[in-house]
Amino acid sequence: MDSFKDFNISNQLQYAIDDLGFEKPTPIQVKSFSVILSGKDMVGIAQTGTGKTFAYLLPILQEMKFSKQVHPRVLIMVPTRELVLQVVEEVEKLSKYLNVRSIGVYGGANINTQRQAVAQGADIIVATPGRLYDLVLSRTLQLKSIKKLVIDEVDIMLDLGFRFQLINIFELLPERRQNIMFSATMTDDVNTLIQDFFITPTTVSVAISGTPLDNISQYCYSVSNFYTKANLLVHLLKNKELYNKVLVFVSNKRSADRLFEVLDEQFGYEIAVIHSNKTQNYRIRSIENFNKGKTRVLVTTDVMARGLHIGDISHVVNFDTPSFPENYMHRIGRTGRAEQEGTSLLFYTEKEQEAKEAIEVLMDMEISRIDFPEEVEVSTRLTPNEQPRDDEPRSAYKKRDESLGSGFHEKSDKNKKVNPGGSYRRLIAIKYKKPKTRGDKNYNKRNKKK
Ligand code: AMP
């Protein structure tokens, strides 16, 4: 599909697009349009810059009928005030020749002004969750007419701790509605939210290529536990000439802080950590210092690292093995940019072995393994997560949190299924339709060469 004409959009939308000077839809726009029009729940995996905002606005505006109704029909939730303003601006641009009323509401601004605006009536509300909830509780805003819910940048939203605010809002929405969600990265938290509240969603993504760049050398170490990984990292970082600009990825804030404690003791000012519990100023300063070479090592979570523009990274260290293989591709893509050579290291425990193999399946190559250095001490200290527990089956996906009460709408058949636990590899095999086991993979490779 090469042209907006293929969407059969209204003349009014086409004129607005012409005014914007857009010649053809972006890939995420092409993929999302018919799914959203069909009314199905949708999960879009796309980063900022892919045209994702218009990907959901186009079909929504295409369908929107003129109305004088006070209560909004479309709710778009985003994590920050800046994004509210940006999305409202995009709605305005696209609805230039349409009769659509949109309002942005967000915290940190006068609530009375927003109350008055909302009372005038709107078709589309763009909101941060906290302020939206306040407006609903004070009965200024009613959500009973919402037909479509869009949650944008949901990974950031969950990383900032908005899960319960989101769930509170879900409870106030009509059961019959379309859910649309966009996220740049797939995380366990995002996946849990989808499992709990979406009805057989169609996933649409501008797939990150599983083909790693040639100029990135990839190695992995099999390591027994968190603190042994920390010992290994300390050992490697002692070579300051080689490890001169190192980005270390961990999957959550707790691990980030825990690792920082160890590294800080050894290297002090050479190390910085960023995650969503750090203040914005601290984060900006840390990134600047890292960029300028003042700090040598930056520890970060996947979500926080999004949108960072950092050049000349010598090493990306995957301190945790990402459970979603695409995140590994995002991570290692931070090094080896602009023709430069880069190195990626992956530390995996026995528990993470399956996730590592899933990454290898995605790339269709094995990561070279380096033997664990003898001189590095193997730690017996365990993190709370690593303490043995005998009540939990091993599962890649978290179970539904029963404390949340009954769902606010009937679950789809798929979501009613009980997670049997078991092999992550099985899930990956279904997802990628690739070889199920390493044995199969080698078998396939051998066959390919024939
Ligand atoms: P987003 O990913 O939604 O943040 O969009 C990134 C930028 O791409 C925005 O400035 C949009 O105005 C622009 N954009 C969206 N769709 C198109 C398109 N089809 N062609 C060219 N630019 C676009």
16 and 138 in a single domain? The answer is yes
| Nearest Cα residue to 248 out of 208, 203, 302, 299 | 299
Domain annotation covers residue 221: yes
Burial class of residue 103, CB neighbours in 10 A (0-12, 13-18, 19+): buried
Domain annotation covers residue 324: yes
Cβ pair 150, 56 in contact under 8 A: yes
* Pocket-testing residue among 3, 19, 20, 56, ligand 1, by greatest number of atoms within 8 A of Cβ: 20
191 and 45 in a single domain? The answer is yes
Q: For residue 16, how far is its CA from the centre of ligand 1 (angstroms)?
A: 13
Amino acid 203 reads T
114 and 241 in a single domain? The answer is no
Q: Tell the residue nearest (CA) to atom 22 of ligand 1.
A: 22
Domain annotation covers residue 182: yes
Q: Helix, strand, coil % (nearest 5) of the chain?
A: 45, 15, 45
Question: pLDDT tens for residues 217-257?
Answer: 999 999 999 999 999 999 999 999 999 999 999 989 999 99
200 and 221 in a single domain? The answer is no
Q: How many domains is the chain built from?
A: 2
pLDDT bracket for residue 400 (50, 70, 90): very low
141 and 253 in a single domain? The answer is no
Q: For residue 47, how far is its CA from the centre of ligand 1 (angstroms)?
A: 11
Q: Tell the residue nearest (CA) to atom 6 of ligand 1.
A: 49
Question: pLDDT tens for residues 291-308?
Answer: 999 999 999 998 877 767
220 and 189 in a single domain? The answer is no
Q: Tell the residue nearest (CA) to atom 23 of ligand 1.
A: 51
Domain annotation covers residue 262: yes
Q: For residue 152, how far is its CA from the centre of ligand 1 (angstroms)?
A: 15
pTM given for the model: 0.73
Domain annotation covers residue 399: no
Domain annotation covers residue 391: no
Per-residue model confidence (pLDDT) at position 207: 65
Q: Tell the residue nearest (CA) to atom 5 of ligand 1.
A: 51
| Nearest Cα residue to 74 out of 117, 35, 124, 133 | 124
pLDDT bracket for residue 361 (50, 70, 90): very high
Q: Tell the residue nearest (CA) to atom 12 of ligand 1.
A: 51
Structural domain ending residue among the three candidates 369, 391, 412: 369
331 and 276 in a single domain? The answer is yes
pLDDT mean over 64-93:
93
Alpha-carbon Rg for the chain, nearest whole angstrom, is 24
Q: Which domain holds residue 263?
A: 216-369
CATH number at residue 143: 3.40.50.300
Question: pLDDT tens for residues 153-196?
Answer: 999 899 888 999 999 999 999 999 999 999 988 888 899 999 99
